[in-house]
Amino acid sequence: MKVPMPIGDFEELAEAAPEHVRLEFVDGRVRTKDALSVEDFEELERRAPETVRLEYLNGKLEVKAPQDGNHSCIHAWLMRQCLLQRPGHGLYPYSGVKTQVHRNGRARTDGAFARRGHFTGHGEWSDPDGILMVVEITVRDHDTNQRDRIDKPIGYAEAEIPVYLLIDRDDDTLTVFSEPKDGRYQQSPSHPWGTTVVLPSPVDITLDTEPLKKYA
């Protein structure tokens, strides 16, 4: 079931928005009435209520849907695998990352894989340098297809993040995007849940995805 944004959350967001940022609410989606700069987005994001997580992809405002229980369990499973196999690294949840070719995008990742301590001293939005992998776990909302399967692979590839792991709950697959070049990932094989998936260098983690079947 695709869950729209609650009207109450929109009203709180609209009330908190800077005066020159005009928002509208159409079919459960939040949109801006005017072009939105990255500076305006960052100001809006700072003012947003805690229940609303915002992203800025291809010059558009996006609202990231809240996680359900299965989403959280998948995230915990992946964090354990990263810790066991690469103890000098961590999968940092809900990291804000600058994306796209000129770092003008702002993505709120489900996880960013980097060396321990990598994000020390960073602000709300980190440069992608030093991030070895970003992770997204799909949620059942209106914009999953455009956001996670189209916009984010482009934004992450343009930022030259080596690996983008998409855990897709709509078709029970893992898609491993790798080898960014000229703003596109050159490799993007998909694997059904239950198979063994090798995350390429510089991640170098092997995932036995059989446990994911319980979250199908």
DSSP string, 18-39: -TT--EEEETTEEEESS---HH
* Bond before 66 cis per omega within 30 degrees: no
Give the residue-averaged pLDDT of 128-152. 89
Q: What's the pLDDT tens digit per position in 14-72?
A: 999 999 999 999 888 899 999 999 999 999 999 999 889 999 998 899 988 888 999 99
Confidence of residue 179 (pLDDT cuts 50, 70, 90): very high
- 89-99: pLDDT as tens digits: 999 999 999 99
**Statement: residue 142 has pLDDT above 70:** no
pLDDT of residue 174: 98
pTM of the model: 0.93
Pick from 4-18, 77-91, 136-150: least confident: 136-150
Domain spanning 69-215: which CATH class is it, in words? alpha beta
Other C-beta atoms within 10 Å of 177: how many?
A: 23
Residue-level pLDDT at 198: 98
- CA-closest candidate to residue 45, choices 93, 13, 71: 13
Distance CA 93, CA 25 (A): 28
**216 has a pLDDT exceeding 90:** no
Q: How many CB atoms lie within 10 A of CB 84?
A: 9
Q: What is the pLDDT of residue 29?
A: 85
Residue 187 neighbours by CB distance under 10 Å = 11
- The mean-pLDDT minimum among 68-72, 81-85, 136-140, 195-199 falls in 136-140
For range 140-144, the mean pLDDT: 73
pLDDT range class, residue 1, cuts 50, 70, 90: very low
pLDDT score for 162: 98
Has residue 3 got a pLDDT over 70?
Answer: no
Least confident of 50-54, 129-133, 155-159: 50-54
pLDDT band at residue 5, thresholds of 50, 70 and 90?
confident
Would you list the domain boundaries of the chain?
Answer: 7-64, 69-215
Average pLDDT over residues 92-112: 95
